[in-house]
Structures are given as structure tokens and as C-alpha cells.
Chains A and B, each alone.
Chain A
Amino acid sequence: MAKNKTPTKTGTAESETPLMKQFNGIKAKYPDALLLFRVGDFYETFGSDAVKTANILGIVLTKRANGYASFIELAGFPYHSLDTYLPKLVRAGQRVAICDQLEDLKLTKTIVKRGVTELVTPGVTFNDKVLEHKSNNFLASVYLGEKISGVSFLDVSTGEFLVAEGNLEYIDKLLQSFRPSEVLFQKNKKKLFIETFGEKFYTYGLDDWAFSSDFGNDLLLKHFDTKSLKGFGIENLKQGIIAAGAALHYLADTAHDKVKHITTISRIEEEKYVWLDRFTIRNLELFNSQNDNAKTLIDIIDQTVSPMGSRMLKRWLALPLKDKVSIEERLEVVNYFLSNRETNELIIQQLELIGDLERIISKVATARISPKEVVQLKRALTAIEPIKVVCENSKNTSLQKIAEQLNPCKLVIERIEKEIMPEPPYLIAKGNVIAEGVNAELDDLRKISYSGKDYLLQIQQRESELTGISSLKVAFNSVFGYYLEVTNTHKNKVPSTWIRKQTLTTAERYITPELKEYEEKILGAEVTFPPFS
């Protein structure tokens, strides 16, 4: 990839800079993704990526020297604007690889190690700005088989994983119902795929080997940590398993390794739902209309208050039931709500507090949750208890059944309450996240930090009185840390235990063992708990 023989830090006439060498190396692994390359406080893009980025985001495209007589296009934005810019790139249909600095700048003498920490594609993202609250964000995977084809739908933001198989018509209908944001398919069947399903989907071709029976089976077993897929009722869906396996493979490929929140995979039971093919879904204008401004059925019937409700309603509309008992059960609850207005309002009030519980839980599992969201989780869970009570006391059996299954998660609430500050910041690095009394060392360090000034003043005052040096000052510099400064007039009053470190024209600087010990604590605190302040 890199043409230079001996990369040096300064960059000789023929070689690329080490930074560009590193960039090219990483870019080679993600040739079809736009690479956001973290450089200091910026995410930079280079070359053709920069041209695209500048175009999509409307930011300035610059050029910079890259070794001898060559220039490379460059466009970038500050790292904290990632949330603003990333969604725009993804919505523009780009696959975005986010490459971060993997080690602390201060701890390395050479170039910082970098690596892709996440590959964001339209179908695989956790970013709140990319995700539509009211809809699922499905990644579909289609395996075109001989007679029967398989399909799987995975929403990493909620952990839902569905699988089905059938003829092409059925797959087509499901794609229309679930409206995935991204569809995976076999690279070598591209032509057939486009012929069958059209070009309206955002697609990504995977190599053929990712779609194989053994591979898929192994991946699923490994992921769910089970001996067979019987428990999920999908062990006979050979084609479906292939499709699902490819989806999991794609997750790993896009650096999404923490996906344990995907705890189950279920079959879309064809025989349970009314068959609506894609023409019908389109003609009846259930979700979309050919006229941009026209209202659709979902606009009329969706009066849900939570994102979970809204997403589920879309599913219900795409998959109406055929079984009388289950339909009557729903109707019965609706009937109950209609005749018990107070119950409605009580539940709606609580639902409004819940927010997007489903996606927050997924963020917990993927370790992407922000401190603020942890507190939101507590608020959401707290709202469950009253709902449970209302349902329990209702005279409707299916509501009672729901009440039974609702878990108020008291332990989680208690723990969050005890351990997290009531109003933590969005970014963990801002500190003030963990409550007092959780970790003694943290509390101690916090005390030092808060009372640091006091403590230093105390030392200053005490020493000043002891030695009679009225102009004594405690200060800090990066070379030898905390020190005591004594002006030349008082030089002779310095006790012998002080160690002289520096001589200035007007003053001398000393350190003491006490100061050093204090200093160690402070620095240690920063290393152990970066966000301790």
C-alpha cells in the first residue's frame, strides 16, 4: 500500500508522512467507507473522502502538502461536532468508518496508535441523530436460495432479530413491510437481487462465503451461546439461518462487537399474519403515499406516546393478525380503556416519562450509554411501577397478564439512585457522574481536588509562620510540580529540609516531601479516575 521505504518522522522527499501512511493502511481495510480520521481535536478526511465530505456537509475543502510535491485534499471538523455531522453523512448514503486515537498522546513518543472503533452504516447505528425514534432501523439480510430464500431483520438499536424464509414474493413483501434501512445480499447475485427487489433499497454486497449454512449456524450458536437453535424455533429455517448469519457477520465486520443485547431471534410466522403484498401496502397507502403531503393510515392511527409504541404499531399494521383469539384479546383491552378513562390517563402520563427505554437498554448492553441516559433509565423504570399497579387493579385479564410480566426493576433503580449523581453531564469525561459514598478512593481524591487550594494555602500559611518568610508562595509548574518560592530577601530563613530545585534572579524555588506526597495523590487521581473532578 504505502510506497515509501523508510518512513521517518519528518518525512523525506519521497516518503509519505507517518500519519498518511497510517491513514492509508487503515483506509485499505475499509475501501468503500468514508474514513473519519481523528487527528488531535479534529476528525479529518483525506483525498476523495474529503471531496465527498466537503460536498455533503458544506464544509471547506483544503489542500495540504503531503510529502514532496504532492498535495492531498483535506476536510475536517472538530471531534465534538461528530453528532452533528455523522447523521448527515449517513443519511447521504455513506458508510462511515470512525477512526479514533487508541492511546493517550502523552504516553507515546511516536505516532499515536489509531484504529476504527465503529463503522456506521444506514442499517447499523446507535446514533440518536441518525435513528428515527418512531421507526425501527432494520438491517435486512437476504439470502437468495435455489427455491426458497431466506431473510433476516436486525435492529441493533433495539436488539430485535427476526428471521423468515419463503419464495421471492414473500421476501419482497417482508422487505416492503419492514422497510429496512440497509439490505445485505450476495455479491455474486447482484443482478438477480436488483431484478427481483428493485433498486429502492440501500444495499451492500457481501462475499459469497458469508452466506453459507455452516458459517451462519456457527455464528448464531456462538452469539446466543447455545447448543442448538431449537429453543428459538428456527432450527429448520436453513435459508433464514444463512441470512441471519450474514447479518451477524456484518456486525462484527463493522466493529460492533458488543451486541449481547441481541438476546433472541424469532421467526416471522407467516401463517399467523394476514398476507399483504407490496402492491397492497403501497396502494392502501398504509405507510407512504405517492403524494408527499398526503396523510397515510399510520398518521391517523398512531397516537402512541412512546417510541416503543410507535415502532410496535408499525409492525402491527404491517402484520395484521389472523387468529381470532389474539385479536379479541387486543379488542378487549381497547374496550376496557374506552370505558375506564382514568386508567388511560394514568398510564399515558407514565408512558410519557418512559422515553425510549428499548434503545437505552441497548445502549447499556453495548456500553454506549451516557451518564445522562443512565438517569433517564432510572426515570423510565420508575414509571413502570405505577403502570404495573394500574394494570394489576384493572378488571381486564390481559392487562393483569401484562402487569404480571412488567418488572419494576427496583434493584436497578436503587443502584442508579445511590451511585449516580442526580444530574450528571452528557459526556462522561466531564466528571461529576458517580455519587458520593460509592468509592472511598474517589471520594478521597475528590476531597483533595476540591479542597486542594485550601490545602495548599494551609501549607503556605503554616510554613510562612514557622519560617517567618512573609512572601512565601506555593505554586506549580510542569517541570517539577508543586514548589515553594522564596524571594531572595528571605533566602537565609529557608530550613535545611527543603530541597532547592531552581534559582531565579529574584527568588529560589524549593520542594518538600510533604508537597511531593500531595502531588502524587493529585496526579494519581487523574490517572485512576480521569473524570474525577
Chain B
Amino acid sequence: MNASLIGRLDCLLSFATIAQKNNYVRPHLFDNDILDIKDGRHPVIEKQLPVGEEYIANDIYLDNQKQQIIIITGPNMSGKSALLRQTALIVLMAQMGSFVPAKHAYLGLVDKIFTRVGASDNISSGESTFMVEMNETASILNNLSNRSLILLDEIGRGTSTYDGISIAWAIAEYIHENPSVKAKTLFATHYHELNEMTNSMHRVKNFNVSVKEVGNKVLFTRKLIPGGSEHSFGIHVAKMAGMPKKVLDRANQILAQLEGEREGKESGIGGSERKINLKLGGDNKKQELRIKNQEPRANNQEVFVETINKQPSTENLQLSFFQLNDPVLENIKDELQKTDINTLTPIEALMKLNEIKKMIGG
């Protein structure tokens, strides 16, 4: 008995110590569905900033009536994930009985917190990252409540762009349209296509983590502002990461090409042969998830090599290869379309390049 009382005192003193040391405030708790955090900070990250740098605090407001789901767009590294996590951590700390890193926090008590991160690097365990991601997400959708807080970080990233967008969309829709429960959701994504959801779902709101383009460079302001974002900045990030200029130029070119193509044929961009059967709801055991990934092997290499030798190797001409009906070229096209540059690390980008090179027998 003594021991647990002492433990309790010790914990509460610890809360007092951190509150004072880190400038936390007492949260105001309510039995309602509103989360209103003013100038919230990430308790761990704010302690690790270099001296002199200040953590950019952000406001988050969610409720079940008007602003149930927030779609946060913004490029990689802009702080989307930190923003999601800090929201959960603030709620969690408050419900432990601790003060919280914010200017003020009005919190409706939460009964479940779910967070999912797309394509977390689970390669070592041998599972398909996408499969893991879908498994994890399914378990949320089967356990929703009115007092749930859901954080989805780049869900759908583990598959091709269009699959990813579709799945992310469907998940958001499910949460929004669920007739019995309204779960508060923060959805971070770099698919700015998801911004279009606001058109059909009125409790979805768009926000973006603003970035400023100064000249040809991106400046991260890490401030959350209302509204969607136009396009992503993956290539800029690649530049910051020190990618060779050649790769960047090429990426820009391909992007322009792909974006042009997309406008051409709006739906059903082919290439991806994946079929996803996702039955959501009900028992998650019954969830079926079939992914067929048929990648036709490059069986025609000699022909291709011949072709490439005949062609002058200017970049523009190479692009036009895609119009040929050569299966190898089709493969490369597929591969490029499937590749989401935004999610690639520099190393992965180089590996991809290497892969493509191998396809043409280089």
C-alpha cells in the first residue's frame, strides 16, 4: 500500500516537474466530442531542437459535427507526421493526468486512440508492407467509436499511386459515412487528390502544412493553414537530400510527362495489374485481401538493346519510347508510373534507377 502511494506521489511530482520545466498548461477536460488545441507542440521533438530554434506550434480543432476529418497535405519533411503525433500525445498526456505542451487545450475525453502509418519499414519481418498496412487499418475500422481519435499517416503509400489514392479515399469515406459513429480523424497525405473529398463530404476539411517556394527552393514553415495544396514537392526534397542534378532534371521531366498523360486519360491509367479486394467492416478476420502483382518479365531484351542502339540518346526521344509497343518499354513505363517519387528515399531512388537500368539489360 505504502509503495503504491509513494509511486503515485512520485508520478504526480514528475508531472509537476515536467510541467514547470517544459512550460506545459493544464488541459481543460470535457465530456464532449470537441478537441481544441491551441499552439500544440510535440513533447519529444521540441526537446531535441538545436539551441535557438523554436518549435513551430500549431492549432488543431476537431469535432463530430462540422470538422470531423482533416486532410493535411504537404510535402515530405514538412512536419505532417509530427503534427499528427503531437495531437495524440497531448490527448494521451492529458488523460494520464499530466499538463500538456500547448497554449491551451480544451479536450473532450477520448476513449480510443488509433494511429496508423503507411508503409512503415517492416521489411525485416518479411511481410508485405502494404499487407501490414491494410491489416492495421482494418482493425481500426472495426473498432470505431464516437470518442475515437484516429491518426492516419500516409495510408495507402505502400502500393501504387492510384491504388493508394483510392484506398485512402475509401477509408476516409468509410469513417465519414459511418452511420452510427463519428470518429475524429487526422489524415496526413501527400496525395493532394484527396483534397477533392471536401466536395462530396461536408465534415471533411482541408488543411496544409505550408511551404514557401523561394526561387527554386522550398522553405518549410511547418505551419498548418486551411486549404489544400496544389502539388507536392517531392523533387525539391530530393534536391535537398543532395540528389545529383541529373537525376533531378530527369525526374522533373518525367513528372511533366506523367502529369500531361494523366490529364489525357483521366481514369484507368493502366500499367498496374494489381487487383484489390478489400471488404471492410464486419469481422476483420474475414477481411480478404488479394493482391495480384504480375510483372511480366523482360523477355525481349535483345530487341530492346537493338532499338536503343539505333536511337540517338536524347532525353526527349527516350520519352517517346513509351509510345512503342515493346513489352519491355511497357514495363518501364509501368514501373515509373508505380513509383511515387514523394515516398522514395534518395537510396531507394537510386535503387529504382538501377532496377530500370537492369530492365533494359544494362
Q: Which residues of A pack against B, CB within 8 Å?
A: 158, 169, 274-277, 279-280, 283-286, 290, 295-297, 299-306, 308-313, 316-317, 320-322, 324, 326-331, 333-335, 337-338, 344, 347-348, 351, 354, 357-358, 361, 381, 384, 387, 391, 402, 405-407, 409
Contacts and interface: CB of A to CB of B under 8 A. Distances in A.
A303 B29 contact: no
Contacts of B136: 279
Given A301-B93, A405-B1, 17 more contacts: A295-B44, A300-B43, A301-B18, A309-B14, A316-B11, A316-B96, A316-B97, A320-B92, A320-B96, A324-B31, A327-B96, A334-B97, A344-B16, A347-B13, A357-B3, A402-B8, A409-B2
B15 A334 contact: yes
Interface in B1-56: 1-22, 26-27, 29, 31, 43-44, 47-48
A317 B93 CA distance: 8
Contacts of A405: 1, 5
**Which residue, of B5, B88, B114, has the highest number of chain A Cβ atoms within 10 A?**
B5
A324 B109 contact: yes
B12 A327 contact: no
Contact of B114 (A280, A309, A331, A409): A280
20 contacts: A158-B3, A276-B113, A279-B139, A285-B44, A290-B120, A295-B44, A301-B14, A302-B14, A304-B10, A304-B13, A304-B14, A308-B10, A320-B95, A322-B109, A331-B26, A351-B10, A351-B13, A384-B6, A405-B5, A406-B5
A301 B16 CA distance: 10
B111 interface: yes
In order of increasing CB-CB distance, the 5 nearest A-B pairs are A309-B10, A330-B97, A337-B16, A308-B7, A312-B7
Given A324-B31, A331-B26, A335-B26, A275 B10 contact: no
A331 B17 CA distance: 13
Contact of A358 (B3, B111, B143): B3
A361 B4 CA distance: 12
**Which residue, of B9, B112, B143, has the highest number of chain A Cβ atoms within 10 A?**
B9
B110 to A, nearest CB: 6
A18 to B, nearest CB: 47
A497 B143 CA distance: 97
A456 B92 CA distance: 75
Given A274-B111, A311-B7, A317 B96 contact: yes
Contacts of A361: 3
Given A275-B111, A297-B43, A324 B29 contact: yes
A299 B48 CA distance: 12
Contacts of B116: 279, 283
Contact of A274 (B5, B11, B27, B112): B112
Nearest to B149: A274
Contacts of B14: 301-304, 309, 313
B94 interface: yes
Contacts of A322: 95, 109-111
A393 to B, nearest CB: 14
Contact of B115 (A284, A309, A337): A284
B89 interface: yes
B9 A351 contact: yes
B112 A331 contact: no
Nearest to A200: B125
A351 B96 contact: no
Given A279-B115, A312-B10, A301 B15 contact: yes
Interface in B89-140: 89, 92-99, 109-117, 120-121, 136, 139
B188 to A, nearest CB: 12
B112 to A, nearest CB: 4
A305 B95 CA distance: 22
A274 B13 contact: no
B223 interface: no
B19 A312 contact: no
B85 interface: yes
Contacts of B43: 297, 300-301
A249 to B, nearest CB: 26
A303 B16 CA distance: 9
A303 B5 contact: no
A276 B111 CA distance: 9
Interface in B74-96: 85, 88-89, 92-96
A330 B12 contact: yes
Contacts of A303: 13-14, 17-18, 21
B31 A295 contact: no
Contacts of B97: 316, 321, 326-327, 329-331, 334
Contacts of A357: 2-3, 6
A357 B8 CA distance: 13
B94 A327 contact: yes
A283 B116 CA distance: 7
Contacts of A324: 29, 31, 109
**Which residue, of B14, B18, B120, has the highest number of chain A Cβ atoms within 10 A?**
B14
B114 A284 contact: no
Contacts of B143: 169, 275
A277 B10 contact: no
Contacts of B1: 405, 407
A359 B31 CA distance: 39
Contacts of B15: 301, 330, 334, 337
B48 A312 contact: no
Contacts of A279: 114-116, 136, 139
